[in-house]
Amino acid sequence: MDWLTFPWTDDINAHIDALTDPVDCIVLGRRLAEGFIPTWAAGPEGEDQASIDKMNNTPKVVITRTLTESPWENAVVGDDLAATVNHLKARPGGDMIAYGGGTLVASLITEGLLDELHLFVNPTAIGAGMPVFGDLGRYQRLRLVTARPFDCGITALHFEPKRA
C-alpha cells in the first residue's frame, strides 16, 4: 500500500468527512475487516480523534462465509450479502457505507446493491495488483455524477449505477 498518496490535504479530509457524517452503519468484507477494525481501534497515527471515534463507534456488519460470530467489538457478521444489505437498507436511520476490497465491491455491484460508488484514484501507475472490480460477469453501466480533484493529487469519482 506504499503507493497510496499521503499526506491527505484539508480539501480531501473535508470531502471524506462529508461522506461519513451521515453514516450510521459500516459494511465490510471479512478480509478488510481483519485490518480495518483493529487499526481504527488502535487509534491510527495522524488521524484526528473525531474520525477515530466515528470509525470505532459506528456499528459494523462484516460480510463473511467463514465466521459465525464476530471477534470484534461493535460488529456483527452476516453471510448472505443481498439479504443482509437489503435488511440494512430497509431499516430507518442514516446512510450506510461499504468499505471494500475488490471482492465485496464486485459483489455489491453484481447484486445491484449500490446506490452510489465513490472511487478515489491515486496518481500512481503500479502495473500490478488486484483489479478494482474483479469479475462482474457482465457490463455494469455507471453514470458519472462528479469528478473532483484534490490538492494532494487524488481524484474522487462519484458514480451512480444506470438501472434499466
Question: 117 has which bridge partners?
Answer: 159
Per the domain annotation, does 2 fall within a domain? no
Per the domain annotation, does 61 fall within a domain? yes
Per the domain annotation, does 94 fall within a domain? yes
Looking up cell 475487516, which residue turns up?
A: 33
Per the domain annotation, does 46 fall within a domain? yes
Per the domain annotation, does 4 fall within a domain? no
Residue 12 DSSP SS3:
helix
Q: In a structure prediction context, what are the per-residue pLDDT tens digits for the chain, which is 164 residues long?
A: 677 777 889 999 999 999 999 999 999 999 999 999 999 999 998 888 999 999 999 999 999 999 999 999 899 999 999 999 999 999 999 999 999 777 888 899 889 999 999 999 998 888 887 777 777 888 889 999 999 999 999 999 999 999 87
pTM exceeds 0.75 for this model: yes
Per the domain annotation, does 72 fall within a domain? yes
Per the domain annotation, does 112 fall within a domain? yes
Q: Please give the C-alpha separations between residue 112 and each of 50, 116, 141, 156, 164, in angstroms, as whole numbers.
A: 32, 11, 11, 22, 11
Give the residue numbers spanning the domain of 78. 10-161
Instruction: Characterise 74 by phi-psi region: left (phi > 0), alpha (psi -120 to 50), beta (else).
Output: left
pLDDT of residue 58: 96
- CATH, residue 60: 3.40.430.10
Total tally of structural domains belonging to the chain: 1
